[in-house]
Chain A
Amino acid sequence: MTAVRPEPTFLGIPPFPEAAHTALADLHLRANLRKATHTIRERRAAVVGEMPDWEKLRRAGAAIKDDVLAHLPRYLEQLEASVTAAGGTVHWARDAAEANAIVVGIAREHGTDEVVKIKSMATQEIGLNNALAAAGIRAWETDLAELIVQLGHDLPSHILVPAVHKNRAEIRDIFAAGMGDAGRPAPDGLTDRPADLAEAARQHLREKFLRAKVAVSGGNFAVAETGTVCVVESEGNGRMCLTLPDVLITVLGIEKLLPTWQDMEVFLQLLPRSSTGERMNPYTSMWTGVTEGDGPRSFHLVLLDNGRTDVLADPVGRQALRCIRCSACLNVCPVYERTGGQAYGSVYPGPIGAVLTPQLRGINQHDVDPQTASLPYASTLCGACREACPVDIDIPAILTRQRAQLADLGRGPVHRGEQAAMKAAAGAFAEPWRLGLAQHAASFSRHFIGRKGKIGKVPRLLAGPLAGWTASRDAPAAPPESFRSWFKRTDGGLTEGDPATAGSPADGGLEEL
């Protein structure tokens, strides 16, 4: 058995604000992300905008997924029966270790030391490549972006385009340096022209497709009624994996089910438009068990739980399981656009990652780690994600719920100072007279902190957590009189004539502006 080099993992990524600090300083990354997210955002907006029934489709998508989640055991058993009847084998995996053991076992059974892989979030979630590596089996990623990440010994940063943080010059360098170790080297004098890069990848991958005996895939949908599994892709590399090797192993999260064949109608409209901004994706592969003389001779379906049934137990959080991994929420997210995906420290980045990762890892437990606990706060709650979501996942609602779970546990970035400040504020808001008192104090403070009505840079030592504000932003000093004092003093402006005479609008705000 030859030693196979393990791939990097997200283990050890610091909590979000720290990871974001590094990402924000990477101007190269920022430029790549800005270009990519804006391009795909506009494309999506165009093809979604042309659909008169988009809102109905969204609601249908959400309703179908909710039905699946509400009757999951029934549909899973139905799927198992129909896949088995069509000649496939169904395996059940409670967690990552079980799923990995099943895949490794099947690969060993067929005496292979390599597998080709289709882009799959589920196998990344369970760390399959490293489990295979530990067993001496090489896993070749065949999705172009996934190949770039693998050859560059990098981590993915996007659900759909895992190498979105790389531009084509960087990709050229990665191919030139890395292809030789993994198989057919890149041609001499490789340029960064997209056509040349694609050709280099095509040549590199072709020998793997033709040689491999075992393929591993994920799946976008599985129809309980018929046992049909569906993979949606753009490149055709997935189609190669699905049809050429003798053995096909598909690892599928249990939430990927659809009840009937007809339900595909809804999702094949929602998914391509939301993810790549295309009306229809180039390659849609569907297979039902095994077919004599066509495609793989044996088919294994691994049904993966890995925390999903725990997510199902949460009445608010469970809607995250509707997710069809389109990544529309990433592309519209103001936070993701600046930090990229790696800062989220999970194979699921962006808004959906911020709600899914903590739930899969178990946010409701006392030993939740600081990185996981930082994710629900990695959002401005602007709601662009919810608006873009093709299955109407209320991501902001899940985020605030998770923040509440963390605050109740006293975990995460909810430090003691914040607890105390929140309690103090709640105390002030409990009685109007206490708020009045606090306002007098705020107003009085302008005599020694504000200059010309504004507060500039304040040393961290003095301002504590508020230094985060003044490091980059001026703050207005509190005006001499609160609104309630004014209203009381002047009877709502009646005793002093027109309230506008009390001062020009926005006085006491940012004076210089």
Chain B
Amino acid sequence: MRIALFITCFNDTMFPDTGKSVVRVLRRLGHEVEFPYGQTCCGQMHFNTGHRREARPIARGFAETFAPYDAVVTPSGSCAAMVREGHPVLAEGARGKGADRFRAQVAEVAPRVYEFSEFLVDVLGVTDVGAYFPHSVTYHPTCHSARVLGVGDRPVRLLRAVRGLQLAPLPRAAECCGFGGTFALKNAETSTEIGRDKAAAVLESGAQVLCAGDNSCLMHIGGLLSRQHAGVKIMHLADILAATGPHPDLPAFPSGDLAYPVPDPVHPGPLPPDAAAAAAARHEFPFEKGAAR
């Protein structure tokens, strides 16, 4: 299987580490991923803002670039949704020379484009990717991944299989974060107000890390949290699945003990007496005990 990575223009420029994480996870699972250098963008910003004339050649370029591959994996729910739902609309409206080829290519390529969690669960058939991340994490299902792609619980199943990770439920998770692409600029105030409620829900979850499958939504929610100095880290799903140790910026979280209350991520207090004893018992090495005897 020839796998291509569609990094997306936004991750390419702003969040390259998410791309590295995708490469790392796939390599760990025994798959080499190719990076076609001809790729640029899916055209979503143009399409969603109404500039279809400009979006069309971008979509055409996408189809040309990724036609030779069996599967295209991308760490963005909304870009995958754009390719699968938007490109057929653009191809349909194409006229003139090459329009038929464009339509045929889109029909071929678009169904083979997978959002990262879909690719892992559906194509590779794995949920345990061998990650270790001893922190509390809450997951925001981004609208395009949930409603257009229908990724369902795939990301959550992947997170549950991460060793050490404690998943904190996000209140009112299905609600939009208010990013909406150029909506965030054209209706900046409304976007902000929607986002503030999402940020409040993130704080309510008590998690140290907010995770999602789209860095764009994360940049919006994270930007609000950062301005509030809320002390919550934002991380793409791929970055968590790539992790094999505690994050250097975060206090390690006692793993596997569901009785342990989720601490205030800003000022993690001392362990409650019972939990402290339990944690101490867990960390005692049997052979040391033996040696003492």
Q: A469: which of B180, B185, B225, B248 is its contact (CB, 8 Å)?
A: B185
- B-contact bits for A416-452, CB 8 A (1 contact / 0 none): 0011001101101111100100110011000000000
A 443-468 binary contact with B (CB < 8 Å = 1; else 0): 10000000000101000000001101
User: Does B186 lie within 8 Å of A380, measured CB to CB?
Assistant: no
> Is A366 interfacial (CB-CB < 8 Å)?
no
Q: Is B229 in contact with chain A by the CB < 8 A criterion? A: yes
Does the CB pair B185–A468 fall under 8 Å? yes
User: With A and B bound together, what is the CA distance between A379 and B178 in angstroms?
Assistant: 9
Mask: chain B, 181-208; 1 = CB below 8 Å from A; 0 = not? 1111111111111110000000000000
B43-54 near A? 1/0 per residue, CB < 8 Å = 101111111111
Does A492 sit within 8 A of B, measured CB to CB? Answer: yes
Q: Are A483 and B50 in contact (CB under 8 A)?
A: no
Known: A380-B176, A483-B20. 6 other contacts (CB 8 A): A378-B190, A400-B47, A425-B41, A454-B226, A471-B188, A504-B17
Interface centre among A404, A465, A506 (most CB of B within 10 A): A506
Q: Is there contact, CB below 8 Å, between A473 and B227? A: yes
Decide if A478 touches B40 in the complex (CB within 8 Å): no
Q: Is A407 an interface residue (CB 8 A)?
A: yes
Cα of A488 to Cα of B12 in the assembled complex, Å: 13
Is A507 close to B, CB under 8 A?
Answer: yes
Question: Chain B residues near A479 (CB, 8 Å)?
Answer: 14-17
- Across the interface, do A381 and B192 meet the contact criterion of CB distance under 8 Å? no
In whole angstroms, what is the CA distance A498 to B244 when docked? 12
Q: In the complex, how many angstroms separate the beta carbon of A416 from the nearest chain B beta carbon?
A: 13
Q: Mark A480-511, 1 if CB is under 8 A from B, else 0.
A: 01111011100011000011101111111110
Is residue A1 within 8 Å, beta carbon to beta carbon, of the partner chain? Answer: no
B171 to chain A, nearest CB (A): 12
The chain A residue sitting closest to B248, CB to CB, is: A504
Whether a CB of chain A sits under 8 angstroms from the CB of B33 is yes
Q: Closest chain A residue to B12 by CB distance?
A: A483
At the interface, yes or no: A310 with Cβ under 8 Å from chain B? Answer: no
B154 at interface, CB cutoff 8 A? no
Contact of B17 among A339, A403, A407, A508 (CB under 8 A): A508
**6 examples of A-B residue contacts, CB within 8 angstroms:** A17-B188, A400-B50, A423-B54, A486-B16, A504-B248, A508-B16
- Render B32-46 as a binary contact track against A, CB cut-off 8 A, 1 for contact: 010101111101011
- Contact A506/B234 with A24-B190, A383-B144 known, Cβ cut-off 8 Å: yes
B226-259 vs A, Cβ < 8 Å mask (1 yes, 0 no):
1101011111100110111001110000000000
> Is the CB of B19 closer than 8 A to any CB of chain A?
yes
Whole-angstrom distance between the Cβ of B191 and the nearest chain A Cβ: 7
| B35 contact from A24, A476, A492, Cβ within 8 A | A492
Q: How far is the CA of A505 from the CA of B14 in the complex (A)?
A: 13
Within 333-387 of A, Cβ neighbours of B (below 8 Å) are at 334-335, 337-339, 376-384, 386-387
A382 near B45 with CB under 8 A, answer no
Residues of chain B with a CB closer than 8 A to A492's CB: 23, 33, 35
Give which listed residue, B9, B144, B225, contacts A429 with CB less than 8 A: B9
Closest residue of chain B to A477 (Cβ to Cβ) is B14
Q: Closest chain B residue to A430 by CB distance?
A: B57
- Using known A-B contacts A406-B50, A473-B195, A513-B234, determine if residue A381 contacts B17 with beta carbons closer than 8 Å: no
Check B147–A506 contact: CB distance below 8 A. no
A175 within 8 Å of B by Cβ?
no
**How many residues of chain A are within 8 Å of chain B by beta carbon?**
85
- Judge whether B139 is part of the interface by a CB distance below 8 angstroms: no
The residues of B that contact A500 with a CB separation of less than 8 Å are: 20-21, 24, 242, 244
| B54 A499 Cβ-Cβ under 8 A | no
User: Could you say which residues of chain B place their CB within 8 Å of the CB of A509?
Assistant: 14-15, 17, 215, 219, 222, 234
Q: Is the CB of B193 within 8 A of A338?
A: yes
Assess the B16–A469 pair: CB atoms within 8 A: no
- Give chain B residues whose Cβ lies under 8 Å from the Cβ of A473: 192, 195, 220, 223-224, 226-227
The one of A339, A430, A504, A507 in contact with B190, judged by C-beta atoms closer than 8 angstroms, is A339
Task: Indicate if the CB atoms of B187 and A17 lie closer than 8 Å.
Answer: yes
Known A-B contacts A379-B180, A407-B49, A499-B20; the reply to A387 vs B35 at CB < 8 A is: no
- Chain B contact residue count (CB 8 A cutoff): 88
A512 touches B193 (CB 8 A): no
Instruction: State A473–B242 Cα separation when bound (angstroms).
Output: 28
- Residues of the A chain whose Cβ atoms lie less than 8 Å from the Cβ of B49: 403, 407, 414, 418, 422
Q: Is A207 an interface residue (CB 8 A)?
A: no
Counting CB contacts under 8 A, is B127 at the interface? no
Q: Which residues of B contact A430 (CB under 8 A)?
A: 40, 57-58, 61
Q: What is the distance, in angstroms, from A98's C-beta to the closest C-beta of chain B?
A: 34
Q: In the bound complex, what is the Cα–Cα distance between A408 and B53 (angstroms)? A: 8
Within 8 A of A (CB), among B157-188: 174-176, 178-188
Min CB–CB distance A336 → chain B (angstroms): 10
Determine if A383 and B147 form an interchain contact, defined as CB atoms under 8 angstroms apart: yes
| A-side contacts of B189, CB under 8 Å | 17, 20-21, 24, 468
Q: Closest A residue to B143 by CB, please name it.
A: A382
B185 with A426: CB separation less than 8 A: no
Residues of A45-77 whose CB lies within 8 A of B: none
- A505 touching B243 by the CB < 8 A rule? yes
Closest chain A CB from B28 CB (angstroms): 9
Contact A380 B194 (CB under 8 A): yes
**B37 in contact with A382 (CB, 8 Å):** no
Contacts of B186 on A, CB cut-off 8 Å?
A: 17, 377, 413, 468
Task: State in angstroms the CA–CA spacing of A386 and B81 once bound together.
Answer: 15
Residue of B nearest to A491 (CB): B35
Name the residue on A nearest B238 (C-beta): A505
B226 near A334: Cβ-Cβ < 8 Å: no
- Closest residue of chain A to B15, judged by CB? A509
Interface core residue of A334, A384, A430, A503 (most chain B CB under 10 Å): A334
Contact partner, B219, options A406, A429, A476, A502, Cβ 8 Å: A476
A383 and B148 form a contact (CB under 8 A): yes
Contact B23 A493, beta carbon cutoff 8 Å: yes
